[in-house]
Amino acid sequence: MLKGFYNSSELDFTIPENKEAMLKAFEQVDKEKGNDYPLIIGGERIMTEEKIFSFSPSTKEQLGAVSSCSQELADRAIRTAHNAFLSWRTTPVEERICCVRRLVELMKQNRFLLDAWSIEESGKNWGEADGELCEALDFFNSYIMHMRELDKGLELMDTDEAVKCIYIPIGVGVAVPPWNFPLSLLAGMVVSAVITGNTIVCKPSSDTPIVAYKFIELCEKAGFPAGVINFIPGSGSVIGDYIVKHPLTRFVNFTGSKEVGLRISRMASEVSEGQKWIKRVVAEMGGKNAIIVDSSADLKRAAAGIANSAFSFQGQKCSACSRAVVLSDVYDAFVEEIAACAKDLQAHQGSGREDLPMGPVINKSAFDRISHYIEIARNEGTIVCGGGFDDSKGFYIEPTVVRDVAKNAVIAKEEIFGPVLAVIRAESFDEALEIANNTEYGLTGSVYTEDRAHIQKAKEEFHVGNLYFNRKSTGAVVLQHPFGGFNMSGTDAKTGTRDYLTNFLNLKSICEDLTY
Ligand code: NAP
């Protein structure tokens, strides 16, 4: 089944040609700075008076202005997508796949520019940005492979009736991605919808609308017919409820915070006037991920893995580690190791283009929220590294390690979504598992151990959608680590898989009596 699929490789920026190409892409970004971007509805570009302004988190510089969609225009987008669905749903699968294959090629051709915009708008470093582009390509290639299989329908029993059971698309979807993977998550939502024969209305995050626009432009070039993919940037608080509740919306594909995800789930369950179906909601949400370190673990390796999980992209990954749960007899030694790792990583202030291990957090409200949690941390434990923050130039927060945090402390329970790690002590492996599971979330987890019995116990009892051993909790690779969370982390969508695509399909069972 997986024959022929391969994961894309990240660019090596130590190779001079790659570095050179990246610097050239930044020059192009500079030329494009200050541009105005439209909505795209049914292929028509629409400029609105109301704008969303995109800012660099590294420097606070304004990068561009994007038209902001009203409820009226959102209605037009959904109706346009509904009309396009009537022909797209019967477009042969191989034709849809051709569009996606052209998109893959266009993404490769525009790789450096997409990376550069992602770095500029989200504050990622080069490797993180290119890794995200690779993830998007992997999503596309996996969905091509799965769609070909799904197109065969279900295998059924032979009888004297002619029977078949086929997958059919369901209608207009609404894609609502977050800012932290502004390319791969948005692109995965769009392509999974349209390769299955649905049409989509995409509302990007208000923090990263330019990367989103660049991607949608490539979709147009790839040949998706007008109306199949519509682009409506707009504030979640202005059009969010409207597009979720719209009677022609058939499904919502959301990734973001628990609060918004639960709201969408609630809104989508109410039947609007004229609505003929129960809406489907895919909602992937937050996490409060733990990594356990037991007495048998290689502490240097554990500290390096945990520092990477907690602080890469400034801790702004849903899979980031925010709790290290460490057995008592190795606790002090581990704290020394993790503090040393964190000290090596500084939140470097700069233009955002220097390709450093750590950069800024996304915006002023994230900066305020995270620095507030650091103030709480001062009362809930001892800060052994970091604790500083500075928003004079951009939104910079030091990688922060807090020791002696109680298992029920605020910083041990709430998602901070920034570079703050709580180190919690456990007296036994059973207690460590109990602490790790002591959260409403269930996204990722990891255990550093050389004890096979502990590995077996964690496999059975550590309740998370993505469980790892002796490795970091971030960096899930498509079709190696299908991704999706339990409990309040979401609907366990497992992106990249064949199962994921069935969220956007109905199975139609057809039978003809041959004796008639
Ligand atoms: P967010 O505030 O929930 O926003 C996510 C998206 O929802 C944005 O496009 C936002 O638009 C939109 N939105 C806001 N209010 C809405 C409403 N009432 N109806 C419909 N849409 C609405 O989350 P975020 O800050 O972008 O992302 C960070 C969160 O995402 C963290 O909790 C993180 O753990 C989670 N996350 C989870 C995964 C996963 O796979 N589980 C992956 C990545 C991130 P505006 O930007 O216009 O407000």
Instruction: Give 373-399 pLDDT, tens digit per residue.
Output: 999 999 999 999 999 999 999 999 999
Q: For ligand 1, is residue 178 a contact (CB within 6 Å)?
A: yes
The answer to whether residue 378 is domain-embedded is: yes
Contact 434, 428 (CB under 8 A): no
One domain for residues 205 and 327: no
Q: For 195-219, what is each residue's pLDDT tens digit? A: 999 999 999 999 999 999 999 999 9
For residue 389, give its domain range: 289-478
pLDDT of residue 4: 79
- Mean of pLDDT values over 170-189: 98
Mutate to test the pocket of ligand 1, among 180, 241, 279, 314 (most ligand atoms within 8 A of CB): 180
Whether 218 and 312 share a structural domain:
no
Q: Are 399 and 310 in contact (CB under 8 A)?
A: yes
Q: Sorting pLDDT into bands at 50, 70 and 90, what band is 153?
A: very high
Tell me which residue of 238, 184, 247 sits closest to 495, measured CA to CA.
184
Q: Which atom of ligand 1 is nearest to the CA of 489?
A: 41
What integer is the mean pLDDT of 48-67? 98
Of 120, 121, 132, 284, the catalytic one is 284
* Residues 213 and 67 both lie in one domain: yes
Specify if 485 maps to a domain: no
The reply to whether 220 and 320 lie within a common domain is no
Q: Is the pLDDT of residue 1 over 70?
A: no
Q: Mean pLDDT in the chain?
A: 97
Residues 298, 392: one domain?
yes
d(CA 67, CA 92): 34
2 assigned to some structural domain = no
Q: Note whether residue 324 is domain-resident.
A: yes
Among 55, 71, 257, residue to substitute to test ligand 1 (most atoms within 8 Å of Cβ): 257
Residue type, 496: G
CATH of the domain at 450: 3.40.309.10
Rounded distance from Cα 204 to ligand 1 centre (Å) = 10
Looking at the fold, whether 157 and 278 belong to one and the same domain comes out as yes
Question: Does residue 412 form part of some domain?
Answer: yes
Phi-psi region of 223 (alpha: psi -120 to 50; beta: other; left: phi over 0): left
Same domain, 184 and 301: no
Residue 346 reports pLDDT greater than 90: no
Residues 386 and 503 in one domain: no
The CA distances from residue 29 to 67, 127, 164, 410, in Å, are 19, 18, 52, 41
- The pLDDT tens digits for 484-499 are 999 999 999 999 999 9
Q: Whose CA is nearest to atom 26 of ligand 1?
A: 178
Question: Does 266 share its domain with 376?
Answer: no
- The predicted structure's pLDDT at residue 137: 98
H/E segment holding residue 359: none
For residue 293, is it within any domain? yes
Q: Is residue 315 in a domain? A: yes
**Residue 392 sits in the same domain as residue 330:** yes
pLDDT above 90: residue 351? no
Spatial neighbors of 322 by CB under 8 A, at least 6 apart, are 287, 288, 289, 290, 310, 315, 415, 416, 420, 421, 422
- Please count the structural domains in the chain: 2
Tens digit of each residue's pLDDT (9 = 90 or more) over 458-486: 999 999 999 999 999 999 999 999 999 99
- Identify the pLDDT of residue 355: 85
Backbone phi, then psi, for 314, in 5-degree steps? 60, 30
- 414 among known catalytic residues: no
Ligand 1 touching residue 369 (CB < 6 A): no
- The residue-averaged pLDDT of 38-45 equals 98
Whether residues 171 and 229 fall in one domain: yes
Q: How far is the CA of 256 from the centre of ligand 1 (A)?
A: 3
The pairing of beta strand 51-55 with beta strand 62-67: antiparallel
In a domain, 484, yes or no: no
Average pLDDT over residues 99-109: 98
The string of pLDDT tens digits covering residues 249-298 is 999 999 999 999 999 999 999 999 999 999 999 999 999 999 999 999 99
Residues 243 and 369 in one domain: no
What Rg value do the Cα atoms of the chain yield, rounded? 23
Task: Establish whether residue 244 lines the binding site of ligand 1, counting it when its CB lies within 6 angstroms of any ligand atom.
Answer: yes
Predicted pLDDT at 121: 97
pLDDT of residue 197: 98
Q: Is the pLDDT of residue 354 over 90?
A: no
